Amino acid sequence: MTGEALRSDALRKVYATRGAPPVEALAGVSMEVRPGERVALLGRNGAGKTTFLRIASTLLRPTSGTIEVFGHDAARAPDKVRPYIAVVPQEGKPFFHLTPREQIYTYLRARGLGRETAKARTEEALGRMGLLDFADRLAITLSGGQRQRTMVATVVATQAPLLFLDEPTIGMDPFARRAVWESFRTLTTRGSTILLTTHYLDEAEALSHRLYIIESGRVLRSGTAEELKRSVGGTLKVTLSGGNGLAESFRSFGSVMDDGEQVTVIVNPERLSELMDLALRSRVSATVGPVTLEEAFLRVVGRSINED
Ligand SMILES: Nc1ncnc2c1ncn2[C@@H]1O[C@H](COP(=O)(O)OP(=O)(O)O)[C@@H](O)[C@H]1O
Ligand SMILES: [Mg+2]
């Protein structure tokens, strides 16, 4: 058994599509997740996140390359891998004819937990995820966000060694999202490992020990959110608007991005007052903020995470 919870090596997936050219969804992804880590795959729509998670969770076979979960090959020995994992698939839904309480309990029993443990874990998950108010309503009567919380609660309640969550907080309100984040943190302090996908930069930053930025089926960069932000080349972001040729005049301060409407300059604190002086003299309005993962993503991928 290797030391990693998950390890992939040159993982490739090519989807054959009828009447159209094949799609290379993964073009050689190598990565690892260590026990107890929370790791995020961050990428735009179509980057390959779901494909990776489906292969890791034994639902799909890779075209080439390898992926191991706790030392077991997910493609060749899926039966060995399954007991270690629990999955919230993208757009997964709870059973419509079950209530959240029944859904969680039934799932835990199906995974082999005893009655008492399953009952206690169910109540704990319902409480943590704020599901108690509608725990006895049929899933079909719940909102999209409430169903998604039920899915996440179900998987969290397993306390499986490795959890895969594909866009876990999609459609949730800010309070529910925070409850989910908190439950993930608790799980990893209890020894579980989490691999999630997200296209929310705040989620990736708040939650993950490390993240992998993926685009077109490739890992472009990995590291902690702090490391990625540092690679932008400055800690402050100044947004300028209201002048022509701004990008040229401010280029000496640091890297400059011009989206046609606004110009963003990445700068270090030492040169901020000089930059603000120039802005004032040029009659340009300037707003200062910290560099975020958004700038890191833009710099690495060359496009914004929400751009289609
Ligand atoms: N079943 C499939 N058949 C053909 N192409 C697919 C299939 N599933 C995904 N793709 C394509 O593979 C690429 C990666 O998709 P996906 O893994 O869903 O990305 P993400 O989850 O990052 O949005 C996309 O170009 C998508 O259109
Ligand atoms: Mg996806």
* pLDDT in the model for residue 304: 87
- Ligand 2 centroid vs 199 CA: distance in angstroms? 9
Overall average pLDDT of the 60-71 stretch: 97
* Span 6-228 CATH architecture: 3-Layer(aba) Sandwich (3.40)
CA distances, 40 to each of 49, 169, 201, 243, 267 (Å): 10, 13, 10, 39, 28
Q: Which ligand is nearest to the CA of 44?
A: 1
Percent with pLDDT over 90 in the chain: 79
Q: Is residue 256 predicted with pLDDT exceeding 60? A: yes
* pLDDT in the model for residue 209: 97
DSSP secondary structure letters along 231-245: TTS-SEEEEEES-SS
Overall average pLDDT of the 250-256 stretch: 89
- Ligand 1 centroid vs 48 CA: distance in angstroms? 6
Backbone angles phi, psi at 16, to 5 degrees: -85, 130
Q: Where are the domains of the chain?
A: 6-228, 233-290
* pLDDT in the model for residue 1: 46
With contact defined as beta carbons under 8 Å apart, do 85 and 233 qualify? no
What's the pTM? 0.92
Ligand 1 atom nearest residue 13's Cα: 12
* pLDDT in the model for residue 258: 81
Beta bridge partners of 251: none
User: Which residue is it, tokens 């996140």?
Assistant: 49
Q: Which two tokens stand for residue 196?
A: 């999630």
* pLDDT in the model for residue 2: 52
- Ligand 1 pocket check for 23: Cβ under 6 Å: yes
191/260: higher pLDDT: 191
Q: According to DSSP H, which parts of the chain are helical?
A: 49-56, 78-81, 100-110, 115-128, 144-158, 174-189, 201-207, 225-230, 246-250, 272-281, 293-301
With contact defined as beta carbons under 8 Å apart, do 218 and 27 qualify? yes
- Ligand 2 centroid vs 46 CA: distance in angstroms? 7
Q: Which two tokens stand for residue 247?
A: 């990008």
Beta bridge partners of 236: 267, 290
Q: What is the dihedral of CA 201, 35, 154, 182, to 10 degrees?
A: -50
- Ligand 1 pocket check for 273: Cβ under 6 Å: no
- For the chain, what is the mean pLDDT? 93
- Choice from 44, 45, 51 to test ligand 1 binding pocket (greatest atom count within 8 A of CB): 51
| CA-closest candidate to residue 142, choices 172, 166, 167, 185 | 172
Overall average pLDDT of the 75-99 stretch: 93
Percent with pLDDT over 70 in the chain: 99
| Structure confidence by residue, pLDDT tens digits, 192-244 | 999 999 999 999 999 999 999 999 999 999 999 999 998 888 899 999 987 67
Read off the DSSP letter of residue 50: H
- Ligand 2 centroid vs 50 CA: distance in angstroms? 4
Q: Is residue 121 predicted with pLDDT exceeding 70? A: yes
Q: Is residue 288 predicted with pLDDT exceeding 60? A: yes
* pLDDT in the model for residue 282: 87
The phi-psi region of residue 19 (left if phi > 0; otherwise alpha if psi is between -120 and 50; otherwise beta) is left
Beta bridge partners of 219: 214
| Structure confidence by residue, pLDDT tens digits, 7-52 | 999 999 999 988 899 999 999 999 999 999 999 999 999 999 999 9
User: What is the rounded distance in angstroms from the CA atom of residue 246 to the CA atom of residue 110?
Assistant: 62
| Structure confidence by residue, pLDDT tens digits, 106-116 | 999 999 999 99
* pLDDT in the model for residue 71: 96
